[in-house]
Amino acid sequence: MNPLNSVTGLLRAAERSLRGFESARLDGELLLLELLDTGREWLYAHGEHEVAEATARDFFALVSRRLDGIPVAYLTGRREFWSLELLVSRHTLIPRPETEAVVEAALERLRDRRSARVLDLGTGSGAIALALARERPDWRIVASDISAEALGIAQRNVDHIGVRNVELAQSDWFAALANRRFDLIVCNPPYVDTRDRALTEGEIRFEPRLALDGGHGGLQAINAVAGAAPRHLVSSGILVLEHGADQGDAVRRLFGHCGFTAVETLRDSAGLDRVSCGRWE
Ligand code: GLN
C-alpha cells in the first residue's frame, strides 16, 4: 500500500510540482487520464484508488516533461477543439480556443449557402476544416497544408472523426490550387512577429515555427493570403482570416486594399480582436 500513489495523492503531488503553471491542476489530471484510460468524472469519484507503481512512475515522468515546458497536448497527443477530439503532433500547431471564432464567423457568414465549396488554407491538424465539416455535411471542404507530416495527422483526424466531406491537398498556400475557386476561404496563418521572444522563450517554442512565424511585423503570411485569395474566390465569396489581437486595424486596411467589401473584425471568447472577414465582389 502506498497512499502517495492514490489518485488524490498523485494529483496533489503534480499540482505542487507544476505550481508555476497556470493550469497546474488540469495539466495533472490530463496527464493521469492519459495513463488510466478513463474519464475525468472517474478521477473525481475515485480519489482513493491506488494506481500501480509503474503507472505512478510513468505519471511523474510525464509531469517532469511538462515541467520542461512541453505542452500537455504534445504529451498526450490530443487536444479538444469544437468538441472534437483531435490528434496533434509536433508537426501541427495545437488548436486554440480562440480559433473557434474562425469557425463561428464562417458558419455565420455562409449560413444560407447550401453545398458551399470551402478551402481551409494551412489546416495543420485539420481543426477548422473538421469543425466546419461536422457542422455542415453539405459543404465540400479542401484542407491544404505545405507540410506532409501535418497532412498525415489531418488524415488520421478525418478518419477517426469520420467525416466524408474533407479532401486533403499538399500545397504551399495556393500553389497547388491554381485553378480552383471557393465560396469560402478560411485560414489561421502564422502571424507572430518574428522578433517576438515568445517564439524562442514561450511555450510556443515547442510548436512548428512554420505555423507561427509571420515574419517582420507578423503580417507577411496574412499579406500573401489576402492578396492571392481573390483569384480563388467566386463572386460574393468570403475570406475569414485569424490574426493577432493587435492586427485588426492593419488587416482591415489590407482587406480594403485587396478589394474586399463588408470588412469586419470579430472578437474571440477572450474579447480580443481575432478574426477579420471580407466579401469578394
Ligand atoms: N495564437 C497563436 C499564439 O499567439 C498564434 C497562432 C498563429 O500564429 N496562427 O500563440
Report pLDDT digits (tens) over 88-99.
999 999 999 999
Residue type at 12 in one-letter notation: R
- pLDDT tier, 37 (very low <50, low <70, confident <90, very high otherwise): confident
The domain covering 3-68 belongs, at the CATH homologous superfamily level, to Ubiquitin-associated (UBA) domain (1.10.8.10)
> pTM above 0.85?
yes
Kindly report the protein residue whose alpha carbon is nearest to atom 10 of ligand 1.
Answer: 204
Centroid of ligand 1 to alpha carbon of 261 (angstroms):
26
Q: Which residue has the cell 492593419?
A: 250
pLDDT at site 85: 96
Ligand 1 pocket test, candidate residues 92, 93, 102, most atoms within 8 A of CB = 93
Residue ranges covered by each domain of the chain = 3-68, 79-280
pLDDT at 1 over 80: no
Among the atoms of ligand 1, which is closest to the Cα of residue 213?
8
Choice from 81, 96, 128, 196 to test ligand 1 binding pocket (greatest atom count within 8 A of CB): 96
Q: What number is the average pLDDT over the span 107-117?
A: 96
Q: Report, as an integer, the average pLDDT of 225-235.
A: 97
Which three cell numbers, joined as nine digits, stand for 145? Answer: 497544408
191, 128 contact by CB (below 8 A): no
From ligand 1's centre to the CA of 212, what distance in Å? 6
| Confidence at residue 2, expressed as pLDDT on a 0 to 100 scale | 73
Q: Which three cell numbers stand for residue 67?
A: 515541467
- The residues pairing with 264 across neighbouring beta strands, listed in sequence order, are 277
Q: Which CATH architecture has domain 79-280?
A: 3-Layer(aba) Sandwich (3.40)
Q: Which of 102, 204, 272, 273 to mutate to test the pocket of ligand 1 (most atoms within 8 A of CB)?
A: 204
pLDDT exceeds 80 at position 7: yes
Q: Which atom of ligand 1 is nearest to the CA of 96?
A: 1
126 pLDDT more than 70: yes
Q: How far is CA 202 from the centre of its chain?
A: 17
Alpha helices per DSSP H over 140-247: 148-161, 198-201, 220-228
Q: How far is the CA of 96 from the centre of ligand 1 (A)?
A: 8
Q: pLDDT, tens digit, for every residue of 241-277?
A: 999 999 999 999 999 999 999 999 999 999 999 999 9
Query: What is the rounded CA–CA span in Å between residue 203 and residue 105?
Result: 28
163-201 residue pLDDT tens: 999 999 999 999 999 989 999 999 999 999 999 999 999
**Ramachandran quadrant class, 15 (left: phi over 0; alpha: psi -120 to 50; beta: rest):** alpha
Rounded distance from Cα 142 to ligand 1 centre (Å): 22
Whole-angstrom distance, CA of residue 275 vs CA of residue 281: 20
Residues with CB under 6 A from ligand 1: 96, 188-192, 204, 212
On the question of pLDDT at 58 being above 70, the answer is yes
